[in-house]
Amino acid sequence: MRKLLFESLIRPPLTEPRPPVSDAAMTELAAAVERSARRRLGRSLSIRAVDAGSCNGCELEMHALSNAFYDIERFGFRFVASPRHADVLLVTGPVTSNMAQALERTYNAAPDPKWVVALGDCGRDGGCFAGSYAVLGGVSKVVPVDLHIPGCPPSPTDILKGLLGLLENVNEKGRVS
């Protein structure tokens, strides 16, 4: 183990450069900004991931955000274990009927101010599962959505861009309205 640790000291870092803030994300945020909370969050966001019926593709990329390449914590983002600790709910999936109540309860358990980010094509409108008897078709059918990050699944860089957009908008004005 010592050898590996020493090697890590002399190896150049793997970290990817910071991606530019997504334009599409910014446009979507403009609407979200109107109804968001009026409080400075500091320079960090705590994220609670909620799988509301995804195929687990988005979850794989969410996991990738924590690897050495994206190292999401250097931007002040961290994944937390409880909605009670969360500023942001990162929700995936077309929201199945069987998960709708759990999603709603998770949302209600998160303290204000809070934002909901719908992740992936299913999160917008159900994606290729839209129209099924078992899905409601998009996160906004159950909880209000502030930002949508498209992709099937969105790459870690895409997710990072969207979240940075959210964070910067919240911080620059000291409030999100």
Q: Which residues bind other proteins (CB under 8 A)?
A: 1, 3-5, 14, 49-64, 66-69, 79, 81-83, 93-94, 96-102, 106, 127-129, 131-135, 152-153, 155
State the nearest-atom distance from the C-beta of 8 to other proteins, in Å.
9
Torsion-angle region of 49 (φ positive above 0: left; ψ -120 to 50: alpha; else: beta) = beta
State the nearest-atom distance from the C-beta of 55 to other proteins, in Å.
4
State the nearest-atom distance from the C-beta of 155 to other proteins, in Å.
6
Residue nearer to other proteins on the CB measure, 29 or 52: 52
Cβ(148)–Cβ(28) below 8 Å: yes
The number of CA neighbours under 13 Å toward the Cβ of 45 is: 26
Residue nearer to other proteins on the CB measure, 127 or 165: 127
